[in-house]
Chains A and B, each alone.
Chain A
Amino acid sequence: MKQKIVRILCLIIAIFSSQAMAWEHEISVGYGFGKEIEEDYNNHGFMISGKFYKFRPLDERLILTIDGTVSHWHASSEHHKDLTTVALAPNFRAYFGDPYYLPRMNCTSIRPYLGVSVGPTYLSSQIYGERKQGSHLALQSTLEVGTEWGKPNSSIDLNLHLAHYCNAGLAKPNQGINILYILSIGYQFG
């Protein structure tokens, strides 16, 4: 009986300590490429991003983080070939399963997810390729699919995402810029 109580207590401690041991921050690098939609040139470039703040989980499968991103894109158009962006955005990440089930045992687990983020971004140029934006201030929207792999406080994050830059009609013109495929790898810690 005493052993049973001790085991239950250890499990409770493990659950709460594992939750506290879950990653708090992430840094990732990515390479993006793809043809611009309805144009005849390609975009490619690099993106560095970090998850600076992670809120308490919204539910057992949904988390919210504040992400900062710096990226540089190059278009194969004739003019206006380069664009640098700096963005800060809330990112919702939804897991297919309970992301804390196996990590409670401090086991290595695979945690696939879908994610979405929308937030303000600064564009270094109002013209990129054949696309024009009415302002240097725009919105960066991303849709992502990926998986985390590892232990709760130390894991790798692999994902594929799409980035869209526009000003949502707040300025004219509003010709969206799209980076269709961004492959990134990140390290989660904390």
Chain B
Amino acid sequence: MASIISLFAVTNSYARNGIYFTAEGGNSYPSGFPSREDTGADRIKNDESFSSGRISVGYNHDVNCWFGLGMNIGLGHYGREHYYFPEGETTISNNTLEFLGVATLHLKYNTDLFCRVGGIRLTSTVSGHDAHEDKTQVRPELMLGGAYNFTPHLAANISYLHIKGQEIDDLRDVGAMTPTINGVLLGVQYTF
């Protein structure tokens, strides 16, 4: 209990109000896509590691020395799934436009914990064999993470993200239905 309280005893002296930009990259793990047996594909492959990325702009307003609230708008790409058929290859890629509210907890040792939650526009694009028109759905997203502030302007962060989706039984339903996506991202943040 004493160690928890001590985290707040000296708060992050680098906490500040301001506009910030982030660039993040990492791995994402979509689930809920049709299985190899359901589609008749020879094999399925997910992109190699570090295939996901996100850039964003946001604003942090410190309500007090421990707690900040803000907003984050981002563009994300969360990997690709490949289905290999005798007739050709079908690729599904997941791209987002994100509108998230952010709550930040300033701790000592120049560290922050943050939670980003909100709605996103998720477009699952199907290309190649069996390609069809892109469709965009609105889905909820949650990100939990932490940041270390090297200077008042520059920080490194790590976050876990979860985008709620559905179970998809047929490749033709991709777009109208979207997968669940989990991911881990590493990034940098610059605050003006």
The answer on a CB contact under 8 Å between B62 and A143 is no
Give the size range of A's interface with the partner: 10 to 19
Bound form: Cα–Cα A59–B61 in Å: 7
Report B62 CB to chain A, min CB distance, Å: 7
Bound form: Cα–Cα A105–B96 in Å: 44
The answer on a CB contact under 8 Å between B19 and A59 is no
B contact face: mostly helix, strand, loop, or mixed: strand
**Chain A, 129-146, CB within 8 A of any chain B CB:** 143
| Given known A58-B61, A62-B59, contact A96–B192 (CB-CB < 8 A) | yes
The answer on a CB contact under 8 Å between B57 and A114 is yes
Bound form: Cα–Cα A62–B20 in Å: 13
Bound form: Cα–Cα A92–B17 in Å: 14
Bound form: Cα–Cα A91–B59 in Å: 14
The answer on a CB contact under 8 Å between B17 and A114 is no
| A94 in contact (CB, < 8 A) | yes
- Determine which residue in B19, B61, B71, B73 has the highest number of CB atoms from chain A within 10 A of its CB, and name it: B19
| B18 in contact (CB, < 8 A) | yes
| Given known A97-B192, A114-B57, contact A60–B17 (CB-CB < 8 A) | yes
Q: Which residues of B contact A92 (CB under 8 A)?
A: 59
The answer on a CB contact under 8 Å between A114 and B59 is yes
| Given known A97-B192, A114-B57, contact A61–B73 (CB-CB < 8 A) | no
| A183 in contact (CB, < 8 A) | no
| Given known A61-B19, A94-B19, A114-B19, contact A143–B73 (CB-CB < 8 A) | yes
User: Of all chain A residues, which has the CB nearest B135?
Assistant: A38
Give per-residue flags for A93-115: 1 if the beta carbon is below 8 A from chain B beta carbons, else 0: 01111000000000000000010
| A116 in contact (CB, < 8 A) | yes
Report B125 CB to chain A, min CB distance, Å: 13
Q: Which residues of A contact B61 (CB under 8 A)?
A: 58-59, 62
Q: Which residues of A contact B17 (CB under 8 A)?
A: 59-62
- Determine which residue in A59, A60, A92, A94 has the highest number of CB atoms from chain B within 10 A of its CB, and name it: A94
- Determine which residue in A61, A96, A97, A114 has the highest number of CB atoms from chain B within 10 A of its CB, and name it: A61
Q: Which residues of B contact A59 (CB under 8 A)?
A: 17, 61-62
**Chain B, 38-63, CB within 8 A of any chain A CB:** 57, 59, 61-62
**Chain B, 1-33, CB within 8 A of any chain A CB:** 17-19
The answer on a CB contact under 8 Å between B18 and A61 is yes
Give per-residue flags for A138-170: 1 if the beta carbon is below 8 A from chain B beta carbons, else 0: 000001000000000000000000000000000
New contact pairs (6) apart from A59-B62, A94-B19, CB-CB < 8 Å: A62-B59, A92-B59, A94-B59, A95-B19, A97-B192, A114-B59
Give the B-binding residues of A (Cβ under 8 A): 58-62, 92, 94-97, 114, 116, 143
Q: Which 10 pairs from chain A and chain B are nearest by CB? A: A59-B17, A94-B59, A96-B192, A94-B19, A61-B17, A59-B61, A96-B19, A62-B61, A61-B18, A114-B19
